[in-house]
Structure 1
Amino acid sequence: MMWIMAPTNTYKQKWKPAISEKVVSTYFGKQAPNMLVWTFPVLFVAALGSLYLHLGKKTPTKTCTVMKETVAGAMEEARFSERLPTLTAKVAAADGIKVWQLKLVESALWIGLTGNVCLAFLFYPVARGSSVLPVLGLTSEGSIKYHIWLGHLTMLLFTAHGVCFIVFWAAIGKISEMLKWSYSDISNVAGEISLIGGLGLWAATLPQIRRKFFELFFYTHHLYIIFVFFFVLHVGIGYTFIMLPGFYLFIIDRYLRFLQSRCSVRLLSARVLPCNVLELNFAKSHVSSNSNMEPDRLSVIIKSEGSWSTNLYRMLSSSIERLNVSIEGPYGPASNHFLRHDTVVMVSGGSGITPFISIIRELIFMSKLSQCKTPDIILIAIFKSSLDLTMLDLLLPMTGSPSELSNLKLRIEAYVTKEKEPVIDNSKRVRSIWFKPLPTDKPIAAILGPNSWLWLGAIISSSFIMFLILIGIITRCNGECSGFLEQRRYAREAMQVQNMEGQTPEGSPSIMAYNGERELESLPHQSLAEATKIHYGGRPDLKRLIFECKGESIGVLASGPTKLRHDVAAICSSGLVDNLHFESISFSW
């Protein structure tokens, strides 16, 4: 509500003065209202959200210096209290500035303020381990699109903000303002450095660069450090309190991820599929996520498409005894909301089957529990070639047996679109490899241990309290030093007062290779074969397959190419039936 009301006269003329009158203190100074309105609520929600997840499992006015010199106090009041139409020719003529120039700089200021609001929300979606997203029912992978949209909007607004000011300075003959650095007011040079850093980061986010040169995109993204640092120097600490909470939660998350990635994790085994897909199996502690079917293991499936994944596939395709691996994560909440449906239809395209592998494994585990009723499962998997059918073998883990599917009502409709009949190549086989881990390798575990959410809440709370203490100390010291300097200036008439705002699973294999190769025609497992029907030379009639499903509540999950997900969404939203509940799963951005 505050973000919405901030640009209005109600907030500026009534709410802000009332808040400032009650909140401004000797200890925190004039920044107290900013911390109360913009920073404290978000960090309070983050800390309280961490506890919830554990149990359930007045703003100072900043002005461009040139405006203070040329428009003086009239512009100061007009900027925050009046709309553009109130900038009359009389005001402009009094200071030798044309009306369009006043309107231009006023627009630039409002554009900058709007960009600041976008920046305030920019970091929440990429704080993967933050409690804010799961409390709101969001996931990091599902929220990344908001980060992308906000990033584009933020840079578009800040670029327009900078260009408008450059045009204004050029129009009034004071282009030298671009070189002005101020320690107590708006610093133009700092803003320009911040904008240049942001533009460099923004340019590398183009899909053509991000997908083909991901490392360039990744490392260029670290320009956010320069962008944020000089942004703070540009606008001052007052406006920083608006974007501080999101950025602070991101910094905490980034530091914890950095600590986690310093350790080498225990890689137990791998399966190398002939369709350029591999599965890595890690040891994990019981507090980590993943299917309950394997309480001490975590599986990661990787499709060989880019240079990094291709090199990894080639490495595992050769004889290898050990692989040094570090990991960040896992991220995302454990979810079993699909249990509320009578039938769950999973539609996948290519490697889009990977999220459904985890779901099916979890349902296999739940089907063994007598008190748990599992829904009927229909998996519609679309592949390009027969080799891709080997991905169905991943529905069962390496340590699983076909009998584990007996209690699950599973039906698989597999479609091979590029071939009209099976293509058998005996040289293409699934290879299973066991690695030799070192004693120093550790299972994957939450960086803060079993009570990670509780510890995260404690970190957020305690660090914010320390921040308040530090701000208070700086404010008091600033006041005392300022008074001392004032006395020296009056006594010696030469001094200038300067603003000082300035557990380890047992029985891990120790052999290098495992001679567990299986031929393509033997896949998938025998019990999977009984549940699988393979169609060659065409695509599925998704509308018919979905509408044929029985039950009062049918969950429809789609994962894969964008067009496939849109097609399934269109079927579910057609209104022809009212028992379909659609959910899209996407991990490509």
Structure 2
Amino acid sequence: MVTFSYKILLIIDQAFLREREREMEKKSPTCIATLRAALRLTFIVVFLGYLMIWIVMPTHKYRQNWWPSIQKKADSTYFGLQGVRLLIYVLPVLFMAVLGGLYLHLGNNLHDDINFESNGKKHHMELWKRPMLVKGPLGIVSGIELTLLVMFMALLVWSFSTYLHNIFGLIIPAKLLERKEQEWQAKLNFVALMLGVTGNIGLAFLFFPVTRGSSLLPLFGLTSEASIKYHIWLGHIVMVLFTAHGLLYFVYWGSTNRISEVLKWQETRIANVPGEVSLLAGLALWATTHPRIRLKMFELFFYTHYLYILFMVFYLFHVGFTYACFMLPGFYLFLVDRYLRFLQSRQSVRLVSARILPCETVELNFSKTPSLKYNPTSIIFINVPSISKLQWHPFTINSNSNLEAENLSIVIKGEGSWSKKLYHMLSSPSSLERLEISVEGPYGPATTHFLRHDTIVMVSGGSGITPFISIIRELIFTSAILELKTPRVVLICAFKHSSELTMLDLLLPISGTSSAAPHLQLKIEAYVTREKEHTTDHSKLLQAIWFKPHPRDAPISAVLGPNCWLWLAAIISSSFISFLILIGIITRYYIYPIDHDTYRVYSLSLRTVLNILVFCISIAVTASAAVLWNKKQIAQKSKQFENVEGTTPTDSTTINADRELESLPSQSLMQATKVHYGERPDLKRLLLECSKGSDVGVLVCGPRNMRHEVATICSSISADNMHFELISFNW
């Protein structure tokens, strides 16, 4: 009787809790939105303050009045001058990164509100996002990008000219006689010095675009793969300034008969030898970024890029860790991300199956944890040790985490040596029971925004269709499952050969339902440019391979679990606090007594080594602890899921591949597809036809000429209602 009463009370209590949860769910979106608005406002204030530091830093007022006052008030026996620079240059950026992590974590609870904006919503920034420059060394550049680039160049010119103006006024004839220098030689010395100081501004921002799991880039509507061009711009600027800095110093030393300075490694000030090593490493890295080398000898480009380690380490030895606080925030966030990627790549993932297409294209289907969510156009990096243990290649995810909760798919077209080896390995008669693969990612946009348009026109060339597969699957989910209104979709795809038309079969998942397609207004215009008629019976050539599970393989999961943004914010904050505590103790009880000894001064190089070690140890310990904790939680949830649902079949022969392929809703696709042979698409006519009386989002992914042509059309006066977006993975 007591047990029965207890159960009744428990049921009543659970019903009450569920009712409370429903009430909280109704209130929570408003509270979360308010909190996100407060975080966003705080971020903007701190960001503007950080930018103001860079603007006022070269001024006489800052260097002669404000900086000495700040240094005097903040100086301590625990951090010294380094503490002041950490406070001014490092803390604001890491604080913004933590705010960004919290902001994005809260946004996960407002997923629907973010991703499914009303189609009629107008965006005042669209005019600024239109292409302003199409052809040229910068590629396709929007109005916002061009404005920011001009502002950044203005900051460099302002800093360089202001530094020189102030420092030239300090040239005293008496000191010139004492140093046995002429006035032009002294000015040459200062010009060389200020070129290096100005180059530090570019270096401070260099690593932000290549931080794949950044919590800052999504706040600006950016992704790491779309920001690569900013990294390229900054890299060129940095290397031009640093190269000029080094060459002018060689000229200065030669003109003053002090060429022996080249071989000096000073212990208490700027060290010349590390600077020269750093510059040589940077020049070797820079040389291989030339487009011809990068495209034709990608492996050389890829491997020489690891010279950034030498470049950064010897840069720190060159200027000292204290001065390097200028560029520390971006590099710090990059190291956190890089170490997390390293931890994720140690685990082999389970490859479930592969679909082989006759156009030397393969679709790989991986197992993933249901909690792993990603948005359309996301990418993932994969490594196949049997082909190369060092090479990592990015590929677009064509699956949808809403439609396919336990599977993740990518499409790989055999265009390079690595991808061709993979295709031949999978298509060879000798069947593989297992293929060892490691992954990093996925990485992609924090939100999807294409649903705001009335019409979406997607223009692709060859394998450029792959990011659009994920978008179409997201629209299928939105229309068929959520029963929300979706834009009209027009897919314009160009292929060289008719065998490549088989890529259209990947538009729907292998387990897709034929009822999904009628809910989506889809029109496909396919062009086969090098053939006059259909020459390939691709339905007979499509193959499926199933792999046996291996105990060492695990489903793909987020390295920091479902609450990755919250964990990332915790890692950034806790690792930096650990760094401050450890370096404060070392400075107070070890370095400080030596520096204040009458006969000894602690070496600048040894101080840099200690800071680097503590720097890396703090990141490694906190990140490893977070990853291990999340890995344990994921393993427990997976075990519970297996106990409830049962295990998956382990014998690959129990799955009939032909039956799975027959389930494809090919009839629905055939009705929506019109194939044109022996011609190229008239993009201007097609785009203008779609633009009549509607808000059109134009997405393009394909060869360079196609991207330029579409950008030119969208930037024309006659297409004022077209909103251009480039999806490019050409690194």
Check whether TM > 0.5: yes
Alignment counterpart, residue 334 of structure 2, candidates 250, 265, 271? 250
Distance, in Å, in 2 between the alignment partners of 1:581 and 1:121 is: 28
Whole-Å Cα distance in 2 between the matches of residues 545 and 514 of structure 1?
43
1:213-292 equivalent positions in 2, closer than 5 A: 213-288=297-372, 289=374, 291=400, 292=402
Alignment check: 8 A CA contact 2:462 2:495 kept: yes
Q: How far apart are 1:455 and its partner, in Å?
A: 1.0
**CA distance in 2 between partners of 1:464 and 1:184 (Å):** 26
Shift of 1:480: 4.8
Q: Aligned to 2:227, what secondary structure does the other structure show?
A: helix
2:188 to 104, 111, 114: 104
Residue of structure 2 aligned with 1:569, choices 690, 711, 715: 711
CA distance in structure 2 between the aligned counterparts of 1:548 and 1:458, rounded to whole angstroms: 50
1:72 corresponds in structure 2 to none
Q: Identity over aligned residues, as a percent?
A: 59
Q: In structure 1, what is the Cα distance between the partners aligned to 2:517 and 2:320?
A: 62
- CA offset at residue 164 of structure 1? 0.9
1-structure distance, mates of 2:182, 2:670: 79
Higher helix residue share: 2
Query: 1:437: which partner in 2?
Result: 549
CA distance in 2, matches of 1:577, 1:480: 66
Query: Does residue 538 of the first structure (1) align with residue 679 of the second (2)?
Result: yes
TM-aligned CA deviation for residue 354 of structure 1: 0.6
| Distance of 1:375 and 1:263 partners within structure 2 | 40
Alignment of 1:295-314 (within 5 A): 295-314=405-424
Q: After superposition, what is the alpha-carbon deviation per residue over 1:73-127, rounded to whole angstroms, capped at 9, x for unaligned?
A: xxxxx97772547747675345321222112111111110111111111111111
Tell me the residue number matched to 1:490. Answer: none
Match of 1:3 among 35, 40, 54: 54
**Is the contact made by 2:514 and 2:665 (CA closer than 8 Å) also made in structure 1?**
no
Distance 2:286 2:100 in 1: 32
Of the three residues 56, 69, 72, the one matched with 1:21 is 72
Does structure 1 residue 472 correspond to structure 2 residue 556? no
Aligned AA (1:328)? E
Matches within 5 A, 1:417-456: 417-424=529-536, 429-456=541-568
Map 1:379-398; keep pairs closer than 5 Å.
379-398=491-510
Equivalent-residue separation in structure 1 for 2:261 and 2:437 (angstroms): 51
- Consecutive unaligned residues of structure 2, counting only runs of 5 or more, are 1-51, 109-161, 376-399, 608-637
CA distance in 2, matches of 1:426, 1:153: 49
- Structure 1 Cα separation of the partners of residues 432 and 414 of structure 2: 18
How do 1:573-584 and structure 2 match up within 5 A?
Answer: 573-584=715-726
Residue 282 (structure 2) aligns with: 198
Deviations 1:320-343 (Å, cap 9, x if unpaired)?
221111100110125331111111
Corresponding residue for residue 61 of structure 1: none
Assess, with a 3 A threshold, how the Cα gap between structure 1 residues 498 and 529 changes in structure 2: closer, same or farther. closer
- Tell me which amino acid in the other structure corresponds to 2:418: W
Which residue identity lines up with residue 529 of structure 1 in the other structure?
A: M
- Alignment partner of 2:269: what SS? coil
Shift of 1:497: 4.1
- 1:479 & 1:509 partners in 2: Cα distance? 60
| TM-superposed deviation, 1:275 | 0.9
- The match for 1:325 among 428, 433, 437 is 437
Structure 2 counterpart of 1:42: 93
Deviation at 1:254, TM superposition (A): 0.7
Residues 250 and 133 (structure 1 numbering): CA distance in 2 closer, same or farther, change over 3 Å? same
Deviation at 1:30, TM superposition (A): 1.7
User: Could you tell me how far apart the structure 1 residues matched to 2:565 and 2:602 are?
Assistant: 43
Compared CA separation, residues 26 and 124, structure 1 to 2 (3 A) = same
Corresponding letter in the other structure for 1:99: E
Q: CA deviation at 1:509?
A: 5.9
Partner of 1:163: 247
1:527 alignment partner in structure 2 = 668
TM-aligned CA distance change 1:432 to 1:5, over 3 Å = same
- What letter is aligned with 2:283? L
Cα distance in 1, alignment partners of residues 665 and 291 from structure 2: 36
* Shift in alpha-carbon separation, 1:294–1:300, aligned structure 2, 3 A: same
Secondary structure of 2:543's counterpart equals strand
Give the secondary-structure state (helix, strand or coil) at the position aligned to 1:229: helix
The answer on whether the counterparts of 1:111 and 1:158 sit within 8 Å (CA) in structure 2 is yes
User: Residues 117 and 483 of structure 1: is their aligned pair in 2 closer, same or farther, counting only changes over 3 Å?
Assistant: closer
Q: 1:142 aligns with which of 192, 207, 226?
A: 226
Instruction: Determine helix, strand or coil for the equivalent of 2:698.
Output: strand
Match of 2:451 in 1: 339
Q: Distance in 1 between matches of 2:520 and 2:537?
A: 31
TM-score (norm 1): 0.89
Partner of 2:699: 557
Question: Whole-Å Cα distance in 2 between the matches of residues 544 and 22 of structure 1?
Answer: 67
Please state how far the C-alpha of 1:470 moved relative to its aligned partner. 2.1
Q: Is 1:188–1:234's contact at 8 Å kept on the other side of the alignment?
A: yes
Equivalent residue of 2:96, what SS?
helix
Equivalent residues of 1:274, 1:430 under 8 A apart: yes
- Is 2:520 the partner of 1:408? yes
Q: Is the 8 A contact 1:9 1:81 kept in 2?
A: no
The 3 A distance-change label for structure 1 pair 323 and 483 is closer
| More displaced stretch, 201-210 vs 237-246 | 201-210
Does the residue aligned with 2:434 lie in a helix, a strand or coil? coil
> Separation in 1 of the partners of 2:713 and 2:177?
63
